[in-house]
Chains A and B, each alone.
Chain A
Amino acid sequence: MIPNDFTYFAPGGLPEVWDLLRQHEGEAKILAGGQSLIPLMKFRLAEPAYLIDLRNVPGMALLEERDGSLVIGAMVREAALERSPLIQQRYPGIYEASAVVADPLVRNFATIGGNVAHADPANDHPAMLLALRAQVTAQGPNGTRTMPLDDFLVDTMETALQPDEVLIDIRVPQPLPHTGSAYLKLERKVGDYAIAAVGVMVTLDGGVCSRAGIGLTNVGPTAIRATQAESFLIGKQPDEATLREAARLAAEAADPTSDLHGPAEYKRSMVRTLTARALRLAVQRAQAGGGQ
């Protein structure tokens, strides 16, 4: 399979990237890790005339905690997230999501920015990041915008990015004490998209759930936040009955279709199973003092 021919740019700074995006609006695509885009190009289902590679743009692979947030540069590779002690220890949900993206080799080049900006509902990061109340930063010639990921994900493969904007980083609020997160993916084999997957975050305050986040993968046109399930948890002790009810509500929030990854009803049931399991994990982690 051979992609179409294109003109390749690897500019050394964002202003040049914006210029190129403006000059070639509608015909240019940003190339990050390329692990989703290049297969599409090989099927000739994507035929961009211009590819703008971000690899020479400095400062886009930052991974650090700063000003109360974890800042993940858009060009941070999945493998770097997976290997980061900071992520492993403080953000288990992000670690677990990065560790199930495609397969280990793909993760060496795939980036979190690509994973989010491709806006494929089957991608693993968005649901986890929704649960964690992540913000995304977009930069264009007219300045910098920060918005909740919820607003960034508009529809299947559609984001709120303007044609000349670039996703710069993803910011996740640092976990409060007694916060736990988890991402659970049900897949038939390594490398497959999720039948369904669930990312959750729970903060406990005096044994009661003070904050909760639940995001769902591949059960709707975008990653979905299960808001009713989230609010249900607030102010409650995370006992088994509560978690089950939250899981049931999360399943109601799912909007799956039947496809090769299973019938819609099955996927909905899996959201329930996975949410309950992920919440149990997250609560355990929170009780163990997670986030400190």
Chain B
Amino acid sequence: MTQHVTLTINGQPYQADIEPRVLLVHFIREVAGLTGTHVGCDTTSCGACTVLVNGTPAKSCTLFAVQVDGAEISTVEGLEQGGKLHPIQEGFFEEHGLQCGFCTPGMMMTSVAFLKEHPNPTDDEIRHAISGNLCRCTGYVNIVKAIQYAADKMRSEQATPPESTEPAMPATPTTPAPTATEAEAVR
């Protein structure tokens, strides 16, 4: 039995009659033909399939398209606006934040959502934020730099227009939960 699903992807409406089991990532790749979103692990471990669902980063290989019927989806293809790269794209380019490029779209989508809430992040906060996205090539060093580059750039762009946008949700606390190892301090 198929079901009618409508999604807005990067501002464009897409609709199709699909089996309920169609994964969001396959809707994006096969129905909408946007192949920048990749499948890496199938088990919600690697984050190569990360897209934004109503602004929230999600692993699209672990959501059925029917679950997000009616949602606004943002993918890597929507980052560039009017021929101008998004600061996160610039950051990855300038800081050599990618090698094979396969994890890059997911990594960038996670970063875009993160930077909205954390315009001035520490390196540790960035590492925490991207810990659901695996990269096998870069060792993460330059990805962290790329995200800092984008943060700088976005702050300087923000500084120009008078109105500042409110963050959608309260920010996560700046310190991640202590791990057992960190909690050594209190032993």
Direct contact of A and B (CB under 8 A): yes
- The stretch that binds B, out of A16-24, A159-167, A270-278, is A270-278
Residue of A39, A183, A278 touching B43 (CB-CB under 8 A): A39
| B132 touches A (CB below 8 Å) | yes
Q: Are A277 and B180 in contact (CB under 8 A)?
A: yes
Q: Closest chain A residue to B173 by CB distance?
A: A88
Q: Are A190 and B131 in contact (CB under 8 A)?
A: yes
Interface size on A, residues (CB 8 A): 52
B76 to chain A, nearest CB (A): 15
| A150 touches B (CB below 8 Å) | no
Q: Closest chain A residue to B114 by CB distance?
A: A104
| A185 touches B (CB below 8 Å) | yes
Q: Point out the residues of chain A lying under 8 angstroms from B43, CB to CB.
A: 1, 39, 42
Q: Point out the residues of chain A lying under 8 angstroms from B132, CB to CB.
A: 102-106, 190-191
Interface readout for B126-160 with A: 1 if CB under 8 Å, 0 if not?
00110111000000000000000000000000000
Q: Point out the residues of chain B lying under 8 angstroms from A185, CB to CB.
A: 179-180
Q: Are A99 and B176 in contact (CB under 8 A)?
A: yes
Q: Are B20 and A1 in contact (CB under 8 A)?
A: no
Q: Closest chain A residue to B50 by CB distance?
A: A105
| A136 touches B (CB below 8 Å) | no
A103 to chain B, nearest CB (A): 3
Q: Are A85 and B170 in contact (CB under 8 A)?
A: yes
| A120 touches B (CB below 8 Å) | no
Q: Are B170 and A278 in contact (CB under 8 A)?
A: no
Q: Are A108 and B57 in contact (CB under 8 A)?
A: yes
Q: Point out the residues of chain B lying under 8 angstroms from A42, CB to CB.
A: 42-43
| A177 touches B (CB below 8 Å) | no
Q: Are A83 and B169 in contact (CB under 8 A)?
A: yes
| B177 touches A (CB below 8 Å) | yes
Q: Are B180 and A273 in contact (CB under 8 A)?
A: yes
| B81 touches A (CB below 8 Å) | no
Interface readout for A1-28 with B: 1 if CB under 8 Å, 0 if not?
1111111101000000000000000000
Q: Which of A71-109 contact B (CB under 8 A)?
A: 79, 82-85, 88, 95-96, 99-100, 102-106, 108-109
Q: Are A8 and B172 in contact (CB under 8 A)?
A: no
Q: Are B58 and A105 in contact (CB under 8 A)?
A: yes
Interface size on B, residues (CB 8 A): 41
A272 to chain B, nearest CB (A): 12
A33 to chain B, nearest CB (A): 9
Q: Are A39 and B42 in contact (CB under 8 A)?
A: yes
Q: Which of A28-76 contact B (CB under 8 A)?
A: 31, 34-35, 38-39, 41-42, 51, 53, 55
Q: Are A108 and B56 in contact (CB under 8 A)?
A: yes
Q: Are B183 and A278 in contact (CB under 8 A)?
A: yes
| A229 touches B (CB below 8 Å) | no
CA distance A88 to B177 in the complex (A): 10
Q: Are A184 and B20 in contact (CB under 8 A)?
A: no
Residue of B57, B58, B59, B177 touching A95 (CB-CB under 8 A): B177
| B66 touches A (CB below 8 Å) | yes
Q: Point out the residues of chain A lying under 8 angstroms from B44, CB to CB.
A: 35, 38-39, 102, 105-106
| B1 touches A (CB below 8 Å) | yes
| B100 touches A (CB below 8 Å) | no
CA distance A4 to B21 in the complex (A): 7
| A280 touches B (CB below 8 Å) | yes
Q: Closest chain B residue to A270 by CB distance?
A: B180
| A186 touches B (CB below 8 Å) | yes
Q: Which of A159-200 contact B (CB under 8 A)?
A: 182-187, 190-191
CA distance A85 to B173 in the complex (A): 9
CA distance A92 to B162 in the complex (A): 37
Q: Name the 3 nearest CB pairs between A and B, nearest first.
A: A103-B132, A8-B20, A99-B177
Could you write out 21 A-B pairs with CB less than 8 Å apart?
Answer: A1-B42, A2-B23, A7-B1, A8-B20, A38-B64, A42-B43, A51-B20, A53-B67, A82-B172, A83-B169, A83-B170, A88-B173, A102-B44, A103-B132, A104-B132, A105-B47, A105-B132, A182-B183, A184-B178, A184-B183, A278-B183
